[in-house]
Amino acid sequence: MAAQTRPKRPFHWHIAVFLAPAVLVYTAIMILPLAGTLQLSLFRNVDQSQVFVGLDNFRTLFGDPNWSVNFWNALRNNVWFFIIHMLVQNPVGVLLAALLSSPKLRFSAFYRTAIFVPTILSFVIVGFAWKLILSPLWGVAPHLLDFVGLKSLFTPWLGKEQYALTALSLISVWQFIGIPMMLIYAALLSIPEEVIEAAECDGVTGLSQFWKIKLPLILPSIGIISILTFVGNFNAFDLIYTAQGALAGPNYSTDILGTFLYRAFFGFQLQVGDPNMGATIATIMFLIILGGVCVYLFLIQTRLRRYQF
Amino acid sequence: MTTKLLTALLLGTSILGSAGLAHAADVTLNIESWRGDDLAIWKDKLIPAFEAKNPGIKVVFAPSAPTEYDAALGAKLAAGSAGDLITCRPFDKSLELFKKGNLADLSALPGMENFSPVAKSAWQTDDGKSSFCVPMASVIHGFIYNKDAFDKLGIKVPETRDEFFAALDKIKADGTYIPMAMGTKDLWEAATMGYQNIGPNYWKGEDGRAALIKGEQKLTDKDWVAPYEELAKWKPYLGDGFEAQTYPDSQNLFTLGRAAIYPAGSWEIGLFNTQAQFKMGAFPPPVEKAGDTCYISDHTDIGMGLNAASKNADAAKTFLSWVASADFATIYANALPGFFSLNSAPVKMEDPLAQEFVSWRGKCKSTIRSTYQILSRGTPNLENETWVESANVINGTDTPEAAAKKLQTGLDSWYKPAK
């Protein structure tokens, strides 16, 4: 054995020690369960014992019409859920933030708080409150519409196949609009005064100042919000479950990946839970979200221009 | 330090204490249950009645939360710490426990002869040879009506379907009341209070149910589609916006006196008695012609079995025989009106509405919900699909034939009847 000639670099123990708590906690509560889910999706319960079946569960999910029809339906609904958020929640969030950051607005702290409050409410409260508001029997919605002479516009939205999902998406938008508003608001506030002043000197004011100066500066924040919305929407479950139940009626029209996963994994009523198929769906959800995040990170974020001040 | 010691001491005494109690009183039986609501009835009525007759046996009722029950019971059984007596869910969940050897065979238990085959069917192997739980209670479907409304409008209690729809027409024409309180938002109302309520009259109760399981009949047959055709006719009689009406909404509509007829399960009796300010009556699902045999859904809901690993099997069997007796049935049925004893011996009940419901057993033939035994084991799940399709039929988004076809196709995809 040759003696070591090169001087050995000292191992920085303190780095490992300082990293350890975070790594351990993250591994225990995120990485291990994730690995467990992926593993579970490769097995199947045959005669009370787990048997390795390779990708058979995925074949069932995409090949067996009993599963695939429900899966594609859930994915389609989920995409629509996401589109509504992107079209309504984020533009309105930006608009609210722009209004709030206007120095002329009075009581802006009050509005800010009021709009943000629903975000911290529990899903159960939001689902239940909106179910009551929209109830054809005791809800205020039919009365309010009656008040302005538009009673004919009222339908039991949550009970109609063609409206239920959109109605729920809008409820979710109502609940979470505070998040994009706050993030954009913070981004708008961080734009340095000098930039604004320089713009004003050049005669760029008002609306064109927003489009030409502020919006490009907050684009990275909008990107972050989009990706947060994407992840949140494809993981959504609670609102549908509390408002429509696990069967996501009527006729599965509000079934999204989260509720589909819930029924498969835990079962429902007489349906016995199947953890393996549940894990398969969870894996697909993970891949969808991973794919979306990668697209954002590698295709969009790298192209966003950042400005250093 | 002292607190820890104290905790340890307290814990120790609680374990030793109960052990000591068991020793002194010879045998203590623990009952596993999800019916936390019934704790007072067990403690104050049922257990004292049993202990008075059987000195030397103590019984403790130890319920857990309904949503946790199955998981908790499974864990306890695996660990060997489960109670001696186990409250049984109907059908597959208990059957699975029996197959795993957690529940003892009770076919030979004295008292089992007090129950009809339908009553026992929820806790039997598929071939019907071994029974593993003593049936405790069932719920009966029918219609509860607002007696004051019927009197005011001069409507007779309908016996045939024509009379039923004539009554609905009359209520609708009058306009004071919503003819029928039911919504489709929660889906199960449409299936359980709708399809499974009126269905047995069409498919002839047990005959049709057995034929469906054997594969001799299909859900697309006339007898199984006809209830959907009737359900489709219900739509104009339901309240405004019934598509978004939930189950509690329906209950409130009826108990507030705004609706005249409520497609019901007997479990509503207790709640309705306390909430409704008007007189109520009940009638069974109407038949086609006066004098036809009527069929009712008398659905087995709760039973009790013996933990196969119990060290006190003999005492537990004594208790189960008592649960199978008329004594138990009388106390239980009166304490919980609407949960009817499955005992063949007639039980005297005080509640008039409950009496009305149970009187149908005398003139009608009993059956259970068609989707519960065997047929809901696969994917797609027949019971869940029945919920969805029943709501679709009432909403008018599926025709009766289309709904039946979807259900049968789903069932065919995994269920192969034994030939």
> Using one digit for the tens of pLDDT, what is the confidence trace for B289-304?
988 999 999 998 899 9
Cα distance between residue B284 and residue B143, in whole Å: 6
pLDDT digits (tens, 9 = 90+) for B183-221: 999 999 999 999 999 999 999 999 999 999 999 999 999
- Indicate if the pLDDT at residue B23 is higher than 50: no
Give, in order, the Cα–Cα distances in Å from A258 to each of A279, B129, B260. 12, 42, 39
Q: Which residues of B touch A250 (CB under 8 A)?
A: 184-185, 187, 243, 388, 391-392, 395, 397
Tokens representing A47 are 């005669």
The minimal CB distance from B395 to the residues A250, A270, A274 is found for: A250
Evaluate if residue B107 carries a pLDDT over 80. yes
pLDDT along chain A (309 residues), means of 10: 64 89 94 94 86 91 92 96 95 93 87 92 91 89 87 88 95 94 92 90 88 89 92 94 89 94 86 88 95 90 71
**pLDDT above 80: residue B20:** no
Determine the 3-state secondary structure of B261 from DSSP: strand
> Residue B17 pLDDT more than 60?
no
Q: Give the per-residue pLDDT at B324.
A: 92
Per CATH, domain A56-303 is 1.10.3720.10: yes
d(CA B321, CA B180) in angstroms, rounded, equals: 42
In Å, how far are A52, A180, B194 from A231, measured between CA atoms? Answer: 30, 14, 40
Lowest mean pLDDT of A152-161, A267-276, B47-56, B140-149, name the range. Answer: A267-276
Degrees, nearest 5: CA angle B246-B248-B249: 60
Contact B36, B66 (CB under 8 A): yes
Would you say B294 and B201 are in contact if contact means Cβ atoms under 8 Å apart? yes
Give the DSSP letter string of B138-181.
Answer: EEEEEEEEEHHHHHHHTPPPP-BHHHHHHHHHHHHHH-SSEEE-
Chain A environment of B196 (Cβ under 8 Å) = none
Q: Among the listed ranges A182-191, B25-34, B172-181, which one has the minimum average pLDDT value?
A: B25-34
Cβ distance of A66 and B395 shorter than 8 Å? no
Q: What was the pLDDT predicted at B264?
A: 93
Q: Residue B19 pLDDT > 80, yes or no?
A: no
The answer to whether B313 and B104 are in contact (CB under 8 A) is: yes
> Which amino acid, A252?
Y
For the purposes of burial, counting CB atoms within 10 Å of the CB of B290, is it exposed (0-12), middle (13-18) or buried (19 or more)? Answer: exposed
Identify any residues that bridge with B302 across adjacent strands, giving them in sequence order.
B137
Structure-block tokens of residue B310: 């119990």
According to DSSP, the residues that pair with B280 across neighbouring strands are B146
Among the partner-chain residues B188, B244, B395, the one whose CB lies closest to the CB of A134 is B244
* Contact flag A156-B242 (C-beta cutoff 8 Å): yes
Nearest to A70 by CA among A236, A245, A248: A248
Chain A nearest-CA distance from B94, in A, is: 12
Spatial distance between the Cα atoms of A273 and B93, rounded to a whole number of angstroms: 12
Q: Which of B249, B387, B395 sits opposite A247 (nearest CB)?
A: B387
Q: Is the pLDDT of residue B412 over 50?
A: yes
pLDDT digits (tens, 9 = 90+) for B314-355: 999 999 999 999 889 989 988 888 888 888 887 888 889 999
pLDDT of residue B22: 43
Nearest to B388 among A158, A251, A271 (CB): A251
CB contact under 8 A, A270 and B376: yes
Q: Which candidate in A44, A73, A128, A137 is best for mutational testing of the B interface (most B CBs within 10 A)?
A: A137
DSSP assigned state of B418:
-
Which residue has 């059987």 as its token pair? B54
A159:B245 CB<8 A = yes
Average pLDDT, chain B: 88
Q: What is the pLDDT of residue A3?
A: 53
**Domain extents for chain B?**
2-136+302-346, 140-298+369-412
pLDDT in the model for residue B4 = 56
What is the rounded distance in angstroms from the CA atom of residue A63 to the CA atom of residue A69?
9
> If DSSP codes are grouped into helix, strand and coil, which group holds residue A304?
coil
Separate counts of helices (H) and strands (E) for chain B: 19, 10
Q: Under 8 Å CB-to-CB from A267, ≥6 apart: which residues?
A: A273, A274
Judge: A270–B184 Cβ closer than 8 Å, yes or no: no
Q: What is the mean pLDDT of residues B349-374?
A: 90
Q: Provide residues of B within 8 Å CB-CB of chain A.
A: 91-92, 183-188, 239-246, 249, 252-253, 371-372, 376-377, 379-384, 387-388, 391-392, 395, 397-398, 410, 413-414
**Residues from chain A contacting residue B397 (CB–CB below 8 Å):** 161, 250-251
Q: Inter-chain contact A252–B388, Cβ cutoff 8 Å?
A: yes
- Which candidate, B246, B340, B353, places its Cα nearest to that of B297? B340
Whole-number Å distance between alpha carbons of B190 and B183: 7
**Cis upstream peptide for B380 (omega within 30°):** yes
Q: Which residues fall within 8 angstroms of residue A183, CB to CB, at 6 or more apart?
A: A97, A221, A224, A225
- Identify the closest residue of chain B to A131 by CA–CA distance: B244
First to last CA, chain A: 57
Q: Do B185 and A252 touch (CB under 8 A)?
A: no
pLDDT at A103: 81
Position A35 scores a pLDDT of 94
pLDDT of residue A18: 93
| Cα–Cα distances in angstroms (integers) from residue B166 to residues A186, B154, B194, in the given order | 66, 12, 18
Just give the CATH number of B140-298+369-412: 3.40.190.10
Interface-testing mutation among B96, B99, B100, B185, with chain A (most A C-beta atoms within 10 A): B185
Nearest residue to A263 (alpha-carbon basis) of A129, A82, A66, A128 = A66
pTM of the model: 0.84
Q: Give the pLDDT confidence score for residue A309 in this predicted structure.
A: 61
CATH H-level, domain B2-136+302-346: superfamily: Periplasmic binding protein-like II (3.40.190.10)
pLDDT at B406 over 60: yes
**Within this chain, domains B2-136+302-346 and B140-298+369-412 share the same CATH topology:** yes
Contacts of B185 in chain A (CB under 8 A): 156, 158-159, 244, 249-250
